[in-house]
Amino acid sequence: MRELYRRLTSERRAMPRLYFAILSFFLFLVLFVFILGMGVYNATLRASKAEFEHRVAAGLSTIWERTDSEILTMYETGRNLLENFYVQEHLRPYTQINDEQRLVLFKVSKVINESKRLLSSTDEIFLYLDDHKVYTSDGIADFSSYFSSIYCFENIPAEFWASQREQTAKLTVLSPVQVYRRYSGTNRRVVPIVTREYVNGWRTVTVISLDIEKLCRPLERGMLYPSSRFAVLTSRNELAFSNMEQEQLQEISPLLTEETGTADYATISGERYFVVSAVGLSGWRILLATPEEEFRRVNDDLLHLIFLICAVLILFGVVLSFVFAYLLYSPLRNIRYAVLNASRTESQSASLAQVEREVTDLVQHYQFLRDSRQNEAYFAMQAYLLYGLYGERPQQFLELLAGGRFSHSSYAVAALCVQFKSVFRDQPEVTQEVMLQSIEILVEKCIPYPLFFIEFGNHMRAAVVNLPKGDMGAVLDGLDTISHILEHDKMYLRCFFGVSSESDEVNDLQRLFDQARTAMEYVERIGGQDIVCASQLRIRHAYFYPFAQEQQLLQYLKAADMKNLQRLTTELLNQNLETPVLWRSIRSLIQAMLGTAQSYFSDEAASLPDFEYVFYSPSMCYHMLIDQYQRMITRMGDAQDTSNIAIDYIRKYIEEHYADNLSLTELAERAGYNAKYISRLFKQYIGYHLSDYINYVRIQKAKEFLRDPSLSIAKIQELVGIPSYTTFTRVFKKFEGIPPSRYRQLEQITRSEGAVELDWEDTKEDRSE
Amino acid sequence: MKVKWKLLFPAILSAVSMLGGCQPQEPAGSSAPVTSPASSTPSTAGTADAAGSDGSASTYLSDTLAELHVMCEDSASAPLLVDSETIKYVEEYLNVKIILEAVPSASYADKKKVLISTDNMPDIMKINLSDLRQFAREGMFVNLSENKERLPNFFTVLDQNPDIYKLSIDGEMFSFPTMRRPSAGDDPNGQQPVIRSDLIKEYGLEYPDSFEELYEVLKVFKQNRPGSIPLTNRKGGNTSGTQKVLDTMAYPLGSGSKMYYDQDIGGGQYVYGPAHENFKEVLRYLNQLYAEGLLDPDYATNTSDIWKEKMSSGKALMYFDNTGFRMDFEAALKTLEPNATYDVFPTMENSFGQRRNFIFEQHWSNSHYVVASSSENIDLALAYMDWSFGEQGCDILNYGVPGVHFDKINGVPVMKTSVWDAFIAAGSNGPSYDLQSKLGIGLPAFTPYVDVGASELMKNYMLDGEAAERSEATAAMNRADTGLRRPVYDPPLSQEDNERYNQLLSAVENIVVPEFDKYIMGLEPIENYDAVIERARTAGAQEMEDIFNRANEAYQ
């Protein structure tokens, strides 16, 4: 069951595998973009951080400059006021004023008013030089009532102001204080800037009330980032204005007292702030804290963009991978589809499931047959068929097919060969197997007549078709259809068809088979079309084996010149295979070539390989020939040259102890020589590698054992000393071309029916051409 | 292959929509058409306007929140608040935000002129009559007569007060004069003499019937209180203390401080006071007071605050100015002198045998609101101004938020006493001014059509039984006082005349104004003033009078 499941899903697994392959490529790309993006982001993050810091600092110094210069102007105004012409002329202690002077006293107020108007952040300017009167921008007030009710500084009595005249400092900045105008009901927070000068010999005090709100509120508007918080301190390091919360102020107070302008990061109420401070020429300071988040916000956009790109890529990747994987052609799907469409019988349902079931059934069928070693019905059938095809017992062939299916009058054979490209070669065997089975089904569906498949080689099938007389066209059409269907699969596999001509006679099956095989082989060699009819080709029945070349062959054999032997063999084979030629003719050629060697060497021991029932490809033929030549030469060499005792000894040892675990090192030791030396020597004299020769001997022995039906193949494998069954089968196949089981069958048949004699008569006649 | 497209299509769609969704929405357009202002239908019940109700679309003057920039003169007594209750309410109710720029009086004149001259005016601006006459013809202000159909409320009020047309320019109105809506508590009063009535009683005196008698009374005051200032004054908004004294006292004394209409001269004509013979009497009298220390020696430099301080602290005993302040002063003074009382007394007879004094004009002809021609919100500004002349607008701008600050009872807005209480309890010197300032209502605020009920009745409200009686008595006295007259407006002048007049005025003023103090302070004998008159006449005072008198005839 597991096998079955595995086979079923193997095809399905191909697509998801492909899908994931493509998807992983996309994800790789996404990863790349992501890494790149993050790199860029980090770089810009650093750059923009520096930029941000610079801008904040620059912005601060710009705004602060203005405010600072305003404060400086106030400082100067205090002094300039007293230098005013009118003031100089008219200002004197009240007790000393006469009426005439009183007349123009109002001008002093006017002058003060002018100055006040020019300083926008001033709440009031007043000056005094005695305890009697205060000159304001509005008019002249009584000293005591001015400070007690008209312009009342919180907690600062009139006496304080009177005492200000006694101070010597030219300029003092007082602490921020509330000032209350009783009759206007207004309340402002101001910083009194006090300047003292001598006017006409009297010490005069000018006080400018710097309106903190008016001075500092515009700073807020000028901030680069609205979320910034700042604090303004007077030249006495007292807090004048701040838009921070109380707790924040407390946290920041250590920074407030630092001397030089700082630029650093600090944590305030849990958030990170970039803190810059600037000190003006006036001595006033500003501390600006901008949340770090501000510059992050800009970069966040970049980050979002990167994520967006990645997300889009992933989405596209997922979608397109699916699309590509789907589009990436699955031949099996194609066949299924085609099979579906090619179905002509209504009884069969058009669903994919049906097809699948059929394939499953078939697989199961074969599986069932293949698995059961006891039940050799399949092999028997195949053997019979093969045998039948070789023309020996057509009657039996027909009996086999007495199920009634083969009811038409004519026969034809279509041979097909499937070549799997490298893609498929990476697949496990079972997929190729399934493909072949599917193609078989396809053939069955496309050819409207009963047919039966026979496996005659690796990935090769022969379909024996029973058709009404003269209807080859239908067969060819069917094959054409298949060819079209499989046209797009050229990447993965290639299917060749060789079609024989038609015949009424069952006995002709062998010939038809031959034709088909030849035609197929021709397609493979030449290329171009996928289907070739034997009737299209002029298939020779004769082979070329000129006398001159025969002589040359002999020469090389005598001289044991392997190189030239190889060359000549290749030449001969190519000459013969250039144009379409019946397979049996090639077989005859090979037999002839072998015969030449045999007769020269008079080597009775030479046994012809049993290849009559097997289809050898030209290269296999070639190798087999060379192999035989080599052996013969060796054996000849054997007889003539016994000088190399060591090699001889080893050879005999192998032939006796084939069943043991033999190794080169051990053997060399026994012979008393170095392993490398022995290996080289062996090759030189015998013509085989040592390991090959060991196997060769084992296989020869195995062949003998195979003749005994009581021995199971596994037992035989043990007997010949090959460790595993798979190895045994492989090695056997290598030397003999067929698996041991098949060999046994053929042996049985041969023995039961009597030995088959080569029909040399036919070939001799052909030879005359 | 069908399947392929089915897969790709939604994928492409989703990707595109993802990218498309990142685009920000375009902000809605800023300016929107202005809807017609709410018509002035009387609200029948007090509940019509629920407390704190948001303006619905029907009351909106603008679809989207629009801004109007307004520049006004800031009053020292009741400073303008940019976020007063009324302004906030108007924003909700009319969907109009009034952005108020309050400029102190001292700077206002210059700032105003600069802005007008440089065409940098805000949407709505407060100017005085001379500004109006100077700039209206230059097209700086929107011609209201041309927009009559948009200003139904305003023109209705004008029709009820035809004298206002004297403030027109070539027959067309270019400004919204600050006008007064008749209301309760609006008793005639003016710049009248207010004296320490308790001291009158204390020193066994009578209210002076003439200026001669006043002089005697003040002398008694001075004798009894040597350190005091019997008569004091304040500066006007942009005028000097000297000018203010003359403004208040020149007319009662028989002349006038500037160009005025004198019914008693020549059967009634315009006279430039300081260039007239009678002016000498004014100067003489003031000098008499000054020389004996009865007039504040600092009269020329007293500020408003200083004046209030003196009156509230008992330093000064009498003033000749807006009677409205007396209650505030009395309240403050009572903390120092519990028996102190201030009272108005009837118009005195002058040396010419005339008994005369101006009460406040019904309207404020020297206060005009103009809409700048260069404004981008002319429609909205006109709509707003007209609304303020409507019943509802007048109510709100003078009483506050309906339902919150006042109720409408029998069609008359009545201030909630709780509101008055709040301000009285705050204990400041001028609760009525605080009220007006905080709420943004009444004359000191941006109120084109004034109803003084809220502040005046508050003053009455603050009085307890005795004081209320006194107040009523004063009102009755004023009503009976035949000497109290409403001032006559200047006639409308043609452009030429206006130019000429201004030109002459500046020259004449340059001659006379610096002389006033000399004579008041006695630095020059009064006889020398003739020479001043002569110079003034030559310099153009005569021509100025002619211009006015001619124009007046033409107007009639």
| Strand-pair category, B484-485 with B357-358 | parallel
Structure tokens at A141: 């007030």
CATH for A84-214 is 3.30.450.20
**For residues A616 and A106, which has the higher predicted lDDT (pLDDT)?**
A106
Chain centre distance of CA B214: 29
Per-residue model confidence (pLDDT) at position B30? 36
Check pLDDT > 60 for residue A199. Answer: yes
Check CB contact of A106 with chain B, cutoff 8 Å.
yes
Subunit contact A183:B18, Cβ cutoff 8 A:
no
Instruction: Tell me the C-alpha distance between A733 and A739, whole Å.
Output: 5
When CB atoms are compared, the residue of B11, B22, B301 closest to A106 is B301
Check pLDDT > 80 for residue A250. Answer: no
B-contacting residues in A 178-217 (Cβ below 8 Å) = 181-186
Compute the nearest-CA separation of B535 from chain A (Å).
21
Per-residue model confidence (pLDDT) at position A760? 36
What residues contact A295, with CB distance under 8 A and at least 6 apart? A48, A49, A51, A52
Would you call B498 helix, strand, or coil by DSSP?
A: helix
When CB atoms are compared, the residue of B8, B22, B523 closest to A99 is B523
pLDDT digits (tens, 9 = 90+) for B276-332: 999 999 999 999 999 999 999 989 888 888 899 999 999 999 999 988 888 889 888
Average pLDDT of span A527-540: 76
- A319 to chain B: which residues are within 8 Å by CB? 7-8, 11
Would you call B72 helix, strand, or coil by DSSP?
A: strand
Per-residue model confidence (pLDDT) at position A505? 76
Structure tokens at B315: 């330093």
Per-residue model confidence (pLDDT) at position A11? 46
Structure tokens at A177: 């204080």
A-contacting residues in B 78-97 (Cβ below 8 Å) = 79
Structural domain A332-533, CATH architecture: 2-Layer Sandwich (3.30)
Which pLDDT band, with edges at 50, 70 and 90, does A347 fall under?
A: very low
What residues contact A249, with CB distance under 8 A and at least 6 apart? A231, A239, A242
Q: What is the average pLDDT score of chain B?
A: 84
- Stretch (H or E) spanning B344: strand B342-344
Per-residue model confidence (pLDDT) at position B49? 38
Instruction: Tell me the C-alpha distance between A150 and A400, whole Å.
Output: 135
Per-residue model confidence (pLDDT) at position A38? 86
Check pLDDT > 70 for residue A615. Answer: no
The secondary structure of residue B38, as a DSSP letter, is P
Asked if residue A519 lies in contact with residue A500, where contact means CB atoms within 8 angstroms, the answer is yes
Subunit contact A137:B433, Cβ cutoff 8 A:
no
Per-residue model confidence (pLDDT) at position B27? 38
Instruction: Tell me the C-alpha distance between B517 and A663, whole Å.
Output: 144
Q: A-B interface: how many C-beta pairs under 8 angstroms? A: 112
Per-residue model confidence (pLDDT) at position B22? 46
Check pLDDT > 90 for residue A194. Answer: yes
Chain centre distance of CA A121: 70
Structure tokens at A69: 């210069």
φ/ψ region of B254 (left if φ > 0, alpha if ψ in -120 to 50, else beta) reads left
Subunit contact A117:B4, Cβ cutoff 8 A:
no
Subunit contact A109:B79, Cβ cutoff 8 A:
no
Asked if residue A270 lies in contact with residue A329, where contact means CB atoms within 8 angstroms, the answer is no
Per-residue model confidence (pLDDT) at position A759? 37
**Phi, psi of A67, rounded to the nearest 5 degrees:** -60, -40
- A113 to chain B: which residues are within 8 Å by CB? 106-107
Asked if residue A511 lies in contact with residue A391, where contact means CB atoms within 8 angstroms, the answer is yes
Distances (CA, A) of A416 to A457, A657, B441: 10, 44, 109
Distances (CA, A) of A244 to A227, A230, A232, A249, A288: 10, 7, 11, 6, 10
Check CB contact of B14 with chain A, cutoff 8 Å.
yes
What are the structural domains, with CATH classification, of chain B?
63-182+366-412+447-454 (3.40.190.10), 191-358+491-555 (3.40.190.10)
Subunit contact A183:B429, Cβ cutoff 8 A:
yes
Instruction: Tell me the C-alpha distance between A676 and A690, whole Å.
Output: 11
- Stretch (H or E) spanning B453: helix B453-462
- Tell me the domain boundaries of chain A: 84-214, 332-533, 592-617+625-767
Among residues A197, A154, A149, A191, the alpha carbon closest in space to that of A173 is found at A191
Give the CA diameter of chain B.
Answer: 121
Alpha helices in A84-129 (DSSP H): 85-90, 99-103, 106-118
Structure tokens at A25: 């490529």
pLDDT digits (tens, 9 = 90+) for A255-306: 766 665 567 787 777 788 888 888 888 889 888 888 888 777 777 877 888 8
What residues contact A117, with CB distance under 8 A and at least 6 apart? B106, B107
Per-residue model confidence (pLDDT) at position A766? 39
Structure tokens at B133: 């006459």
The label of the residue with tokens 């679309």 reads B57
B-contacting residues in A 108-167 (Cβ below 8 Å) = 109, 113, 117, 136-142, 145-146, 149-151
Q: What is the average pLDDT score of chain A?
A: 77
Superfamily the domain A592-617+625-767 falls into? Homeodomain-like (1.10.10.60)
* pLDDT tens for chain B, residues 1 to 556: 444 555 555 556 555 555 544 444 433 333 333 333 333 333 333 333 333 344 555 778 888 888 899 999 887 777 888 888 889 998 888 889 999 988 887 778 888 888 888 888 899 999 988 888 888 888 889 999 999 999 999 999 999 888 888 888 888 899 999 999 888 767 777 889 999 999 999 999 999 999 999 999 999 999 999 999 999 999 877 778 899 999 999 999 999 999 999 988 888 899 999 999 999 999 999 999 999 999 999 898 888 888 999 999 999 999 999 888 888 898 889 999 999 999 999 999 999 999 999 888 888 888 899 999 988 989 999 999 999 999 989 999 999 898 888 888 888 888 888 888 888 887 776 778 888 888 888 888 899 999 888 877 887 777 777 777 888 888 888 888 888 888 888 888 887 888 899 899 999 999 999 899 999 999 989 999 999 999 999 999 999 999 999 988 888 7
**Sheet with B191-196: strands ordered across:** B229-232, B316-322, B191-196, B342-344
Q: Which long-range contacts (CB under 8 A, 24 or more apart) does A476-484 make?
A: A476/A531, A476/A533, A478/A443, A478/A446, A478/A447, A478/A448, A479/A414, A479/A443, A479/A446, A479/A447, A479/A531, A480/A531, A481/A338, A481/A342, A481/A446, A482/A338, A482/A439, A482/A442, A482/A443, A482/A446, A483/A530, A483/A531
Check pLDDT > 90 for residue A128. Answer: yes
Compute the nearest-CA separation of B104 from chain A (Å).
10
Per-residue model confidence (pLDDT) at position B290? 93
Distances (CA, A) of B90 to A168, A603, B59, B83, B508: 55, 130, 10, 11, 46
Mutant choice from B4, B114, B233, B309 vs A, greatest count of A C-beta within 10 A? B309
The secondary structure of residue A373, as a DSSP letter, is S
Instruction: Tell me the C-alpha distance between B413 and B415, whole Å.
Output: 7
What residues contact A334, with CB distance under 8 A and at least 6 apart? A485, A486, A488, A489
Instruction: Tell me the C-alpha distance between B87 and A55, whole Å.
Output: 38
Compute the nearest-CA separation of A16 from chain B (Å).
17
Among residues A461, A438, A429, the alpha carbon closest in space to that of A335 is found at A438
Compute the nearest-CA separation of B392 from chain A (Å).
30
Check CB contact of A634 with chain B, cutoff 8 Å.
no
The label of the residue with tokens 């130019």 reads B499
Asked if residue A483 lies in contact with residue A495, where contact means CB atoms within 8 angstroms, the answer is yes
Per-residue model confidence (pLDDT) at position A374? 38
User: Is the Cα torsion angle A472, A476, A481, A486 positive or negative in sign?
Assistant: positive
Chain centre distance of CA A522: 41
Please count the other Cβ atoms lying within 10 Å of the Cβ belonging to residue A34.
Answer: 17
Subunit contact A184:B297, Cβ cutoff 8 A:
no
- pTM value? 0.56
